[in-house]
Amino acid sequence: MKNSVYITKHGKLVRDENTVYFIEAGGEKRLLPVNKIEDIYAYGKVTLTSQVISYFAEKGIVVHFFNKYGFYQASLYPREKLVSGTVLVNQVAHYLDKEKRLLLAKKFVDGAAGNIVRNLKRWKCESSEIESLRDRIWAQQSIPQVMEIEGKIREKYYQAMDSLVPEEFKMLRRERQPPTNKMNALLSFGNMLVYSTVLSEIYNTQLNPTISYLHEPSERRFSLSLDIAEIFKPIIVDRIIMKLVRKNMLRDSDFRKELSSVLLSDSGKRKFLQEYDEKLRSTIMHRKLGKKVSMRRLIRIECYKLIKHVLGAEEYRPLIAWW
């Protein structure tokens, strides 16, 4: 099984024949086993030599870059090797057909809502309002209407989360860039991680990451990653956050204030990344496959399910956690 590599320090990646090293700004040298790397998440100022870029492209390793605030900036996305004209044509056709696009948009929001409800039941919270809103998804006639329902579901959900955490971790309202309190900082950091991981998994399928259905495609983002990430944010990011907060695993030193923003410090990032990596590696017994699969593998499977849908082989049903 290949692993993710998380770089939180400044330094450079260099290649020596078929070996890649990360050399920290202080001079410490770390060997990276390229054949065992799935993707790399760079949070420090990381320089890559042209030899490293070429080697990563050859090996199909995606590198995600984040700025000093932990916000996603860009990805080194190697030339796609798994291309399919048939998948691309049908993926575009489902975007251009209003009814087909709307159906997929509803399915992504329904999947996210189903996982939100599952979380609330795990946490022994009331979920009837959200379940009622979820039922209304299917009656909506446009993407903006679907997204409006999604917004209301998230609002109710975050209110429920606030009722479960100490005062210092209450969100009050969702803020993204910049987050102004601890809970918003955790959510923003985690959501960007999931977006990046989904992008890595899309790279390993025939899907085009720029053609999406719930979120509007644009020139500067991989919007299909946003669509699929909606399903996984509740069962990956939100569960990690609640574990960190409710088990008192975070300290004041794990956050830092910068102007009007509250951000994760280096220690906070390391704690979150450790939990995130463990979550992606964790396994469950897959009901349909009859074997244990990792959380990360579930994201790849979700991509395959979407491919089958656009090809007309099997209707897409979003993953809703049963665990």
Between CA 92 and CA 207 the distance in angstroms is 10
Contact present, 41 and 193 (Cβ < 8 Å)? yes
Of 175 and 303, the structure prediction assigns the larger pLDDT to: 303
Structure tokens at 267: 């220690």
pLDDT in tens, 231-264: 999 999 999 999 999 999 999 999 999 888 899 9
pLDDT in tens, 144-154: 999 999 999 99
Mean pLDDT in the chain? 93
Same fold, 3-76 and 85-310: no
* Nearest alpha carbon to residue 197 among 9, 316, 66: 66
pLDDT in tens, 281-304: 999 998 888 899 999 999 999 999
pLDDT in tens, 35-58: 899 999 999 899 999 999 999 999
Q: Classify domain 85-310 at the CATH superfamily level.
A: CRISPR-associated endonuclease Cas1, C-terminal domain (1.20.120.920)
Between CA 220 and CA 100 the distance in angstroms is 24
Q: What residue type is assigned to position 115 of the chain?
A: N
Structure tokens at 184: 């918003």
Q: What is the architecture, at CATH level 2, of domain 3-76?
A: Ribosomal Protein L15; Chain: K; domain 2 (3.100)
* Nearest alpha carbon to residue 303 among 211, 193, 187: 211
Cβ neighbours around 164 below 10 Å, total: 15
- Give residue limits of the domains in the chain: 3-76, 85-310
Phi, psi of 67 (to 5 degrees): -80, -175
Measured between its terminal Cα atoms, the distance across the chain in Å is 23
pLDDT in tens, 44-99: 899 999 999 999 999 999 999 998 778 888 898 887 777 899 999 999 999 999 99
Q: Is the pTM of this model over 0.85?
A: yes
Q: Which residue has the tokens 């099984």?
A: 1
The pLDDT value recorded for residue 173 is 82
Q: What does the radius of gyration of the chain's CA atoms come to, in whole angstroms?
A: 20
Burial bucket for residue 103 (CB in 10 Å: 0-12, 13-18, 19+)? middle
* Nearest alpha carbon to residue 250 among 141, 168, 156: 168
Structure tokens at 104: 């997929």
The pLDDT value recorded for residue 175 is 78
Q: Provide CB contacts within 8 A for 117, sequence distance 6+.
A: 127, 130, 131, 134
Mean pLDDT score, 158-171 = 95
* pLDDT band of 220, cuts 50, 70, 90: low
Q: Element (H or E) spanning 46, and its range?
A: strand 46-48
Structure tokens at 186: 């955790």
Of 111 and 176, the structure prediction assigns the larger pLDDT to: 111
* Nearest alpha carbon to residue 252 among 177, 162, 181: 181
